[in-house]
């Protein structure tokens, strides 16, 4: 147990030394460039903000956040938007360490991969040589392609597309729910007015000289749902 603890402590110390060495060599221009990179990232993909691959672990997320957050920290970076970039990194880490949020993003990544694979299979049907090589290598050819920069770039763009579509659907659903809540509230208010009128018809309401008067018409009632008739004087 003691030996394992000592090894862990030594590893942490080595990481700390490397991190300090890294920051000692970072110029102000590099800090500014990182701020611009972060702010240019697709807002719905936290992996992009932290510049991590989709298979990164929670520990990878924590290490990368620490490295980048120190790089663009407002106290160390003079860029006017350093605070905004710093906040974006914090939000990205928060999302990726939340299991539910992380699972949601990764489910969209998987959907993007399936779409790209289906597209590639369709293309390969037209390419006999590629199809033959794929069969011979028993999938190794496809695995190599998915590790390529070309595929990773395609995946990144496809994930953006899917996340954007899902966010648009979420907002439309939210808007519809809000509209429905407003309609129900309006119906409830109208029902209260009808009930008030019925109560008046049953019990009546005497004025100062014995006249029976209905409830006063609300000035904000746009539908003129009821109109007060003139009272006949005796």
Residues with Cβ within 8 Å of 47's Cβ and at least 6 positions away in sequence, in order, are 53, 54, 56, 92, 96, 105
CA geometry: angle 151, 141, 136, nearest 5 deg: 160
**Integer Cα distance of 36 and 190 in angstroms:** 54
Task: Look at residue 66 in the predicted model and tell me its pLDDT.
Answer: 93
- Give me the pLDDT at residue 100, please: 95
pLDDT of residue 142: 75
Identify which of 64, 84, 88 has the alpha carbon closest to the alpha carbon of residue 74.
84
Helices (H) and strands (E) in the chain, counts: 9, 0
* pLDDT tens, the chain, 234 aa long: 556 666 666 676 676 666 666 666 668 888 899 999 999 999 999 999 999 999 999 999 999 999 999 899 999 888 999 999 999 999 999 999 999 999 999 999 999 999 998 888 888 777 665 555 555 455 666 778 888 888 889 999 999 999 999 888 888 888 888 888 878 887 777 777 777 777 666 665 555 555 555 555 555 555 555 455 555 555
Question: Which pair of tokens denotes residue 62?
Answer: 């924590």
Q: How confident is the model at residue 193, as a pLDDT? A: 72
Tokens standing for residue 160: 């953006």
Helix axes of 28-39 and 58-72: crossing angle, nearest 10 degrees: 120
Three-state DSSP at 206 gives strand
d(Cα 114, Cα 140) in Å, to the nearest integer?
17
């Amino acid at each position: 147990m003691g030996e394992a603890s000592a090894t862990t402590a030594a590893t942490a110390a080595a990481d700390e030394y490397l991190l300090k060495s890294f920051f000692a060599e970072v110029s102000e221009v590099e800090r500014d460039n990182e701020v611009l990179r972060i702010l240019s990232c697709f807002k719905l993909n936290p992996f992009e903000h932290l510049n991590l691959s989709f298979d990164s672990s929670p520990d990878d997320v924590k290490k990368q956040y620490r490295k980048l957050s120190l790089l663009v920290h407002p106290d160390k970076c003079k860029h006017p938007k350093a605070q905004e970039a710093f906040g974006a990194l914090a939000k990205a880490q928060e999302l990726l360490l939340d299991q539910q949020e992380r699972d949601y993003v990764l489910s969209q990544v998987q959907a993007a991969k399936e779409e790209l694979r289906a597209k590639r299979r369709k293309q390969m049907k037209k390419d006999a040589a590629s199809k033959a090589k794929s069969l011979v290598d028993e999938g190794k050819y496809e695995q190599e392609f998915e590790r390529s920069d070309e595929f990773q770039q395609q995946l990144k763009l496809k994930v953006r597309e899917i996340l954007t579509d899902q966010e648009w659907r979420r907002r439309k659903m939210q808007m519809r729910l809000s509209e429905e809540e407003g309609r129900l509230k309006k119906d409830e208010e109208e029902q209260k007015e009808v009930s008030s009128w019925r109560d008046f018809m049953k019990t009546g309401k005497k004025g100062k000289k014995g006249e029976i008067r209905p409830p006063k018409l609300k000035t904000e009632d746009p539908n003129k749902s009821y109109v007060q008739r003139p009272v006949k004087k005796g």
